[in-house]
Structure 1
Amino acid sequence: MWFGRRLLALRGPGPRWNRHAPSGLAIAVAVVLAVGLTVGTTGAGGAAADVRPLRPQDACSSPTWVTAWQTAAQPAPGNPGLAGTTLRMIVRPQVSGSEARIRLSNAYGAVPLTVGAVSAARSDGRAGLLPGSVEPVAFGGKTSVVIPPGAEVESDQVPLEVEAGDPLAVSMFLPAAPPVMTQHSVALQTSYISRKGDWTFGDASAFPTRILSWLVLTGVDVLAPRPVNAVVAMGDSITDGVGSAPDLDERWPDALSAGLATAGGTNVMSVLNAGIARNRLLNDDTVGGGDSPLTRFERDVEGATGATDVVLHIGTNDVAARRPAAEIIKGLQKFAERARNAGKRVYLTTITPSGAGAHGTASAVANRAAVNAWVRVHGREYADGVFDFAATVADPARPTRLAPEFDAGDGLHLSPAGYRALAESVDRDLLTGSPCLTPDRD
């Protein structure tokens, strides 16, 4: 279940809230395929038609809100040293627009979180703000906001020109430090903490401390000139991008976004990263790996404005934890059913190979192979498509391990080349895309 309580959106003058060996291997594959015949043939039906729906011309001329950047929240111990400082979070929106809305989170807080002031501005990619771009951010017309425990708050509209791919800086003054901080721990993006004081409009010299986590900030929506859809990439450290370098946007969702943008036209979508390092499909882990994909579905998928599609790549940590293949398969089925019931297109992937530690034991190898066999044979009975990530990055000579060029060096996580390969294995024509965008107009 989702941590905390859900509050209904308030659209009046106040802020808007959201709660938002080999013989054993062969046997394991045979067993799970037999299981698939009994539990995998009564799903939601085959893949959805790949003909993208047309929109009326007037709808395509209407500015529409879409989530342009998002991260998955998880709890972390609070840092008393943050009291009386300003956080400057750097993010890269994927959609251009004329206005923005900022989402702040206290989803895991046990006490109210006070944010004394907030600003948003175009950034130089570091702590510097581009002159003339700094705007105050209000919540229900007020410059400060108190976020209840377990809640998120969405700001009023901010008259800020946003350009896809250009960094934004969201600065937040914290009068007090919470005992539990809602954050995304492995951001692979440098953000900043100020010296003491409210520096929401301050220059880079006030921000001496660098961090590689996103604190409090969980989303940015933009008002696009015409409708743009979003696809949510949900998963673990492979989706979070572990193995790639900070500040270079080399995760596989980044590579997918770049590929969609290059293709242009109706292929363009906002690609939202909802990966959490150490995440599991079957268990919540509030200490390190965050809530499971099902637990956080409402927040990370349904809560993303304009999200029509979701790609789930997960399971390697469940395999390492010795969860049986049949349980993992049932978890994939439940997730796919949840997504379909929510009106989303859903895509399943095979689990990438690994020979590292608990991920590379004989039982782990057998369970991973069994899950992957089910995804390949039966996944389309539940999902709108299947992407074979495992085959894409496996070593042809030793398929239970990553190919050397795709290995980040630890036998588990991928190199930038590996993440690009995963993105290239996504069949873009299966995604909903954004039907209002055409080669002639964009």
Structure 2
Amino acid sequence: MTNRSLAVVCGAVLSSFLLASAPVSAADNPSPWVTAWATALQPIPQISSPPPLYRAPEVAGRTFRQIVYPTLSGEVARIHISNAYGKAPLVIEDLRIARSGAGAAIQVGTEARVTFGGKPAVSVPPGGEIDSDPVRVGIAAGVPYAVSSYMGREQNLIAWHRVSSQVNYLSMPGNHTGDASADAYRQRVTQFAWVTGVQVEAPSSATIAAIGDSITDGMRSSLNQNRRWPDALARRVAQSGDKSVAVVNLGISGNRLLTDSPCYGDALASRFGRDVLAQPGVKTVILLIGINDINFAAMPPHGGLDCDAPHTQVTVDGLIAGYKRVIAAAHARGVRIFGATLTPAALPPQREAIRTEVNQWIRTSHAFDGVVDFDAALRDPADPTRLRRSFDSGDQIHPSDAGYSAMADAIPLQPVVNSARK
């Protein structure tokens, strides 16, 4: 079968899948809340002398201003806060949302205070999560918002989303949540923390959740440019005129399907319920995971912080069993899920054989509700084991901005638009 024929077949399958999975009325989504932006947390390695990439910034008594891009509009919003990996209460003394200006600045007159049970402060117990009170802020899809949280005086950062591909800001000591100016925000970081969702009241809408590893997370995409493939998909939906479908990114760089990591978070098969199925309004999932399971077994162990540990050997059957667990969890909640083929990574023959066989199962097993062939979209026609040169960011694994755009283009758009109009 040619690549073009395969793309047509996959498109037809995926079209049917998306049409079946998107909402057609408010009754399909009894809760009025729909996730418009989200991220997934991972624990920070708790060792005495971590390498620079894993040194958490000091947040106690400071204001953390995070820039987020919701992909669904709504007049009323709420903020989801997570202390999923906390060993002590997560204390936020003040939280506000506003339209983002340049850098750490916010647009004057757009700021709104976010409360919890009518109070400006909240203490989230270890392992807990909480939604804020509704706040009338007027969320516009595709527009950046600054979520500013003034942290408790003894607060430590022990969980984050490490690769945000977005510059966020830490202030000097003190409550600077209401500052329109960027003057107090002297420190830049490229992580998200605590704020794991922005939800809007939109009962006839739905969310597509993209979940996977660094290729979904957008590793090596342009900083502050929203060039990850889920971003490109969200733009295609918006440009089509559709206003009822959000796209959120729940990828974690380094994540594996089957194995937890000291740096890269819980195994996707374990975190799927919390990070995806618990998101309000999620009706559709795009799953791209497995290349790290294949690769990390061959990474040489090293002293200190070994992020690739455990170096677990995987088999095709083991990966398929993991996919089936995720599929069953999605179907048990009435969520449709389609699988994406693993993209080329210039693997040696033994590992390439696993990738090839896994992709064949994804394409032909009919275990998923639909298939997106990212492999076919990105591979070099002259050497299918490698990324096309124009789609390679330079490490032979992660796509360039153009590659991420090609991935979004490989997902049929019309079914999403049609389902929103029915």
Same-fold call, TM cutoff 0.5 = yes
2:250 to 274, 282, 288: 274
Matched, 1:141 2:118: yes
2:169 alignment partner, SS class: strand
Distance 1:426 1:208, change over 3 A: same
Deviations 1:72-128 (A, max 9, x none): 111125747321110001101111111110111111011111111111111115211
Q: What is the Cα deviation at residue 294 of structure 1?
A: 2.1
- Name the CA distance, whole Å, in 1 between partners of 2:357 and 2:213: 20
Distance 1:233 1:63, change over 3 A: closer
- Name the CA distance, whole Å, in 2 between partners of 1:371 and 1:218: 31
Q: Contact between 2:341 and 2:359, CA under 8 Å: does it hold in 1?
A: yes
2:106 to 129, 132, 137: 129
2:322 to 331, 355, 361: 331
Q: Contact between 1:109 and 1:178, CA under 8 Å: does it hold in 2?
A: no
Q: Contact between 1:112 and 1:146, CA under 8 Å: does it hold in 2?
A: yes
The corresponding residue for 1:314 is 289
Q: What is the Cα deviation at residue 182 of structure 1?
A: 2.3
The corresponding residue for 1:302 is 277
- Name the CA distance, whole Å, in 2 between partners of 1:93 and 1:326: 38
- Name the CA distance, whole Å, in 2 between partners of 1:274 and 1:80: 23
Deviations 1:295-345 (A, max 9, x none): 112222122111100010011101102411111111112211211111001
TM-score (normalised: structure 2): 0.85
2:132 to 141, 145, 155: 155
Q: Contact between 1:137 and 1:155, CA under 8 Å: does it hold in 2?
A: yes
The corresponding residue for 2:374 is 389
- Name the CA distance, whole Å, in 1 between partners of 2:315 and 2:120: 51
The corresponding residue for 1:165 is 142
Q: Contact between 1:65 and 1:227, CA under 8 Å: does it hold in 2?
A: no
| Structural mapping, 1:33-432, within 5 Å | 50=19, 55=24, 64-76=32-44, 77=46, 79=56, 81-202=58-179, 203-224=181-202, 227-265=204-242, 268-285=244-261, 287-320=262-295, 321=297, 322-355=313-346, 360-378=347-365, 380=366, 382-429=367-414
1:372 alignment partner, SS class: helix
1:207 alignment partner, SS class: coil
2:135 alignment partner, SS class: coil
Tell me which moved more, 393-402 or 123-132: 123-132
- Name the CA distance, whole Å, in 2 between partners of 1:336 and 1:118: 37
- Name the CA distance, whole Å, in 1 between partners of 2:294 and 2:94: 44
Distance 1:107 1:410, change over 3 A: same
Q: Contact between 1:97 and 1:162, CA under 8 Å: does it hold in 2?
A: yes
- Name the CA distance, whole Å, in 1 between partners of 2:31 and 2:335: 22
Aligned residue type for 1:219: G
Q: Contact between 2:21 and 2:284, CA under 8 Å: does it hold in 1?
A: no
- Name the CA distance, whole Å, in 2 between partners of 1:434 and 1:119: 36
2:82 alignment partner, SS class: strand
- Name the CA distance, whole Å, in 1 between partners of 2:69 and 2:395: 28
Distance 1:79 1:237, change over 3 A: closer
Computed over aligned residues only, the root mean square deviation of the Cα atoms, in angstroms, reads: 2.2
Structure 2: where are the runs of 5+ without partners? 1-15, 47-54, 298-312
Q: What is the Cα deviation at residue 265 of structure 1?
A: 3.9
2:197 alignment partner, SS class: strand
Q: Contact between 2:23 and 2:206, CA under 8 Å: does it hold in 1?
A: no
TM-score (normalised: structure 1): 0.81
Deviations 1:6-52 (A, max 9, x none): xxxxxxxxxxxxxxxxxxxxxxxxxxxxxxxxxxxxxxxxx758467
The corresponding residue for 1:28 is none
Aligned residue type for 1:278: G
1:198 alignment partner, SS class: coil
Aligned residue type for 2:270: T
Distance 1:434 1:181, change over 3 A: farther
Q: Contact between 1:109 and 1:149, CA under 8 Å: does it hold in 2?
A: yes
Distance 1:185 1:384, change over 3 A: same
- Name the CA distance, whole Å, in 2 between partners of 1:292 and 1:96: 32
1:99 alignment partner, SS class: strand
- Name the CA distance, whole Å, in 2 between partners of 1:49 and 1:238: 22
Q: What is the Cα deviation at residue 228 of structure 1?
A: 1.2
- Name the CA distance, whole Å, in 1 between partners of 2:221 and 2:329: 31
Q: Contact between 1:50 and 1:429, CA under 8 Å: does it hold in 2?
A: no
1:275 alignment partner, SS class: coil
Structure 1: where are the runs of 5+ without partners? 1-46
Q: What is the Cα deviation at residue 64 of structure 1?
A: 3.4
